[in-house]
């Protein structure tokens, strides 16, 4: 399966096969799907031992209340539970179930038992559940699971003891109680950066504009709406060792926020014939951080440049104008499909020792991989 280059083998339980077919899993993983503990046709009777020995990590996802109970009791009555019991590798459990089943004392007791046995968890989110109810129990999003996998697998935490600030998502600049100026940023890239930084051991503050993403577990998240609120939250989070401004901050905001919904016919801001809105420039957060005194300025300050034309030239100019150390040029033209998508193609830009702009094109990959590449570069620079 294309999980950042990992080879993935799936074990499908009898209950799991009610939701997904072995064919789907084998086409996604490019591997045989395992389900039988004792197969009459298969030559290898010791699949459970081989599967657990050959894996670096076992992920149980989605984990039902039933499998949690069987794992907690050490029951091994099918291939999945036998492989888990025979494992000496890290195990990551990603529960998904109905809210009442999740909150049931028996389930919570089993979770505590498993946590005491050093089993790792990504807790479920609140939201719409498969059973039609709404509440906690929905499986965590894939981004969180992938980054938790990295955090469990890669024991090395080079950013341990380092503090990072990351901005993510759009800002919303209100015009009246119901309307605002904003943009298409989903927060996926910024949140992936926060999780990648935390996976390397950094103490991360994520300042996020309004997105549909859940605040990542274990990361201090400050939710804001406007650029001014984002600037205040960033300043409040200082000092930090590194900052990454990935948020798509609105460059402008309406000069006046109307207390009541603006009526079409009686608008004071909207001239009926011209429909103009008076706007003013927002503070530039990246530039403000760059201009701080050396004791307050992040040691390493990274911006993102969202461009639709002359990408490298405009991004390089932004690095110089805003005074950050690195800038990540991002094509956001209509055909790039960058906003809201899971993938991204970026170019890393820095000034070399002779003061010339140098760039390095990174391959198109998932936003998680872009985040990991950038955080790797940050850790290599900060950790001497």
Instruction: For the beta carbon of residue 72, count every other beta carbon within 10 angstroms.
Output: 19
Contact 25, 9 (CB under 8 A): no
Among 47, 144, 284, 325, binds ligand PMT (CB under 6 A): 284
Nearer to ligand PMT, 97 or 230 (CB): 230
Interface residues for ligand PMT in 228-247 (CB under 6 A)? 245-247
Nearer to ligand PMT, 59 or 371 (CB): 371
Cis peptide before 62 (omega within 30 of 0): yes
Mark 341-358 as b/e (b = at least 16 C-beta within 10 Å): eeebbbbbbbeeeeeebe
Among 219, 227, 300, 374, binds ligand PMT (CB under 6 A): 227
Catalytic choice (131, 234, 246, 324): 131
Separation of CA 13 from chain center: 29
Q: Taking contact as CB under 6 A, which single stretch among the options 15-23, 70-78, 134-142, 278-286 is the one that binds ligand PMT?
A: 278-286
Shortest approach of ligand PMT to residue 380 CB, angstroms?
21
Contact between 282 and ligand PMT per CB under 6 A: yes
> What one-character-per-residue DSSP string does 340-355 give?
T-SEE-EEEEEE-TTS
Integer Cα distance of 302 and 286 in angstroms: 8
Torsion of CA 384, 322, 327, 162, to 10 degrees: 30
Shortest approach of ligand PMT to residue 209 CB, angstroms?
9
Shortest approach of ligand PMT to residue 286 CB, angstroms?
4
Q: From 369, 291, 363, select the one nearest 324 (Cα to Cα).
A: 291
Shortest approach of ligand PMT to residue 225 CB, angstroms?
14
Shortest approach of ligand PMT to residue 235 CB, angstroms?
12
Integer Cα distance of 206 and 197 in angstroms: 10
Q: Taking contact as CB under 6 A, which single stretch among the options 90-98, 143-151, 181-189, 266-274 is the one that binds ligand PMT?
A: 181-189
Mark 252-269 as b/e (b = at least 16 C-beta within 10 Å): ebbeeebeeebeeeeeeb
Conformational region of residue 108, where left means phi above 0, alpha means psi within -120 to 50, and beta covers everything else? alpha
Nearer to ligand PMT, 114 or 378 (CB): 378
Interface residues for ligand PMT in 309-348 (CB under 6 A)? 318, 322, 330, 332, 338-340
User: Would you call 131 a catalytic residue per the annotation?
Assistant: yes
Shortest approach of ligand PMT to residue 331 CB, angstroms?
9
Nearer to ligand PMT, 138 or 322 (CB): 322
Integer Cα distance of 327 and 303 in angstroms: 5
Q: Give the binding-site size for ligand PMT (rule: CB under 6 A).
A: 30
Interface residues for ligand PMT in 286-305 (CB under 6 A)? 286, 303-305
Contact between 254 and ligand PMT per CB under 6 A: no
* Sign of the CA dihedral with 72 first, then 76, 77, and 82 last: positive
Q: Taking contact as CB under 6 A, which single stretch among the options 57-65, 199-207, 279-287, 351-359 is the one that binds ligand PMT?
A: 279-287
Among 195, 213, 248, 349, binds ligand PMT (CB under 6 A): 248
Which residue spans within 96-168 are E strands per DSSP? 120-121, 125-128, 134-138, 163-168
Q: Residue 30, exposed/middle/buried by CB under 10 A (0-12, 13-18, 19+)?
A: exposed
Nearer to ligand PMT, 52 or 338 (CB): 338
50's CB contacts (< 8 A; 6+ apart) are: 44
Residues forming the active site:
131
Chain residues that interact with ligand PMT, rule: CB under 6 A: 167, 185-190, 227, 245-249, 251, 282, 284-286, 303-306, 318, 322, 330, 332, 338-340, 367
């Amino acid at each position: 399966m294309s999980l950042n280059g990992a080879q993935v083998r799936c074990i499908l339980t009898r209950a799991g096969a009610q939701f997904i077919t072995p064919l789907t899993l084998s086409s996604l993983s490019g591997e045989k799907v395992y389900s039988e503990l004792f197969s009459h046709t298969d030559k290898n009777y010791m699949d459970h031992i081989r599967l657990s020995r050959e894996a670096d990590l076992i992920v149980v996802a989605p984990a039902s209340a039933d499998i949690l109970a069987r794992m907690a009791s050490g029951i091994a009555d099918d291939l999945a539970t036998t492989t888990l019991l025979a494992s000496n590798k890290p195990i990551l459990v990603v529960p998904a179930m109905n809210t009442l089943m999740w909150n049931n004392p028996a389930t919570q007791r089993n979770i505590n038992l498993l946590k005491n046995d050093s089993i790792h968890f990504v807790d479920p989110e609140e939201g719409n559940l498969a059973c039609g109810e709404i509440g906690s129990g929905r499986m965590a999003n894939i981004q969180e699971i992938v980054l938790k996998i990295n955090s469990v697998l890669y024991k090395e935490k080079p950013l341990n003891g380092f503090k990072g600030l990351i901005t993510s998502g759009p800002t919303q600049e209100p015009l009246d109680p119901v309307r605002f100026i904003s943009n298409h940023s989903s927060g996926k890239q910024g949140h992936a950066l926060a999780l990648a930084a935390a996976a390397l051991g950094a103490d991360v503050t994520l300042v996020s504009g309004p997105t549909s993403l859940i605040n990542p577990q274990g990361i201090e998240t400050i939710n804001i709406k406007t650029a001014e609120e984002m600037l205040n939250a960033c300043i409040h989070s200082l000092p930090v060792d590194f900052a990454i401004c990935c948020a798509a901050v609105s460059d402008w905001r309406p000069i006046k926020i109307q207390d009541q919904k603006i009526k079409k016919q009686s608008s004071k801001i909207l001239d009926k014939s011209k429909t103009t809105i008076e706007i003013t420039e927002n503070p530039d957060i990246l530039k403000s951080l760059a201009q701080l005194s050396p004791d307050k300025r992040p040691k390493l300050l990274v911006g993102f440049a969202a461009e639709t034309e002359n990408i490298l030239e405009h991004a390089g100019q932004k690095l110089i104008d805003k005074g950050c150390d690195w800038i990540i040029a991002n094509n956001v033209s209509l055909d790039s499909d960058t906003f809201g998508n899971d993938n991204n193609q970026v170019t890393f830009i820095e000034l070399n020792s002779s003061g010339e702009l140098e760039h390095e094109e990174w391959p198109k990959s998932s936003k998680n991989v872009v985040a990991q590449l950038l955080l790797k570069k940050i850790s290599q620079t900060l950790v001497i």
